């Protein structure tokens, strides 16, 4: 089985480095997969060049800076979380996106894709052509659904 058989095509669903985090979150919430919004999107420069990925973890890190993580337990200031969230909304995607990106080709084997995801603790992998243009995205859930479909069908 090949990656192209299960990837989700990337047509108009991507982020731009110059977008605000607020705009990026709105785009992510509007982009649907089955009954829920996506939890990560590619960042393309000029709609072509892959420069990063924004995930829900990146968003949370932007709202709660690492220097506050250990200090939040006893902190009870009313509205603090909302204030940090509003401030983070003005940040730019380029300031919070992950830039160390592992990619995979559409014709690569699904087993190779699964290995990359497991070995690197990834939730998603951009699928690119030989020139580096993003064709789609494979999510860990896509691999899981493929495996469970094979298992369920084998049991019939």
Over the chain (156 residues), the average pLDDT of each successive run of 10 is: 91 88 90 71 90 92 68 58 78 93 96 96 93 91 90 78
For the record, the structure tokens of 97 come out as 């996106």
Query: For 2, which DSSP code?
Result: B
Class of domain 3-154 (CATH, top level): alpha beta
- The β-bridge relationship of strands 104-105 and 124-128 is parallel
Q: What pTM did the predictor assign?
A: 0.80
For the record, the structure tokens of 93 come out as 């995607």
Sign of torsion, CA 100 107 36 116? negative
């Amino acid at each position: 089985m090949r990656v192209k058989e299960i990837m989700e095509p990337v047509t108009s669903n991507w982020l731009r480095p110059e977008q605000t985090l607020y705009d990026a979150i709105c785009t992510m919430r509007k982009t649907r997969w089955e009954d829920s919004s996506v939890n990560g999107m590619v960042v393309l420069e000029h709609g072509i060049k892959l420069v990063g990925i924004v995930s829900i973890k990146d968003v949370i890190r932007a709202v709660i800076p690492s220097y506050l993580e250990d200090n939040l337990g006893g902190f009870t200031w009313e509205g603090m979380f909302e204030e940090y969230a509003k401030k983070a909304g003005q940040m730019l995607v380029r300031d919070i996106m992950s830039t160390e990106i592992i990619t995979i080709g559409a014709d690569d084997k699904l087993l190779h894709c699964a290995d990359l995801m497991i070995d690197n603790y990834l939730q998603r992998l951009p699928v690119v052509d030989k020139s580096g243009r993003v064709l789609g995205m494979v999510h860990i859930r896509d691999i899981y659904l493929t495996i469970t479909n094979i298992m369920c069908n084998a049991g019939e």
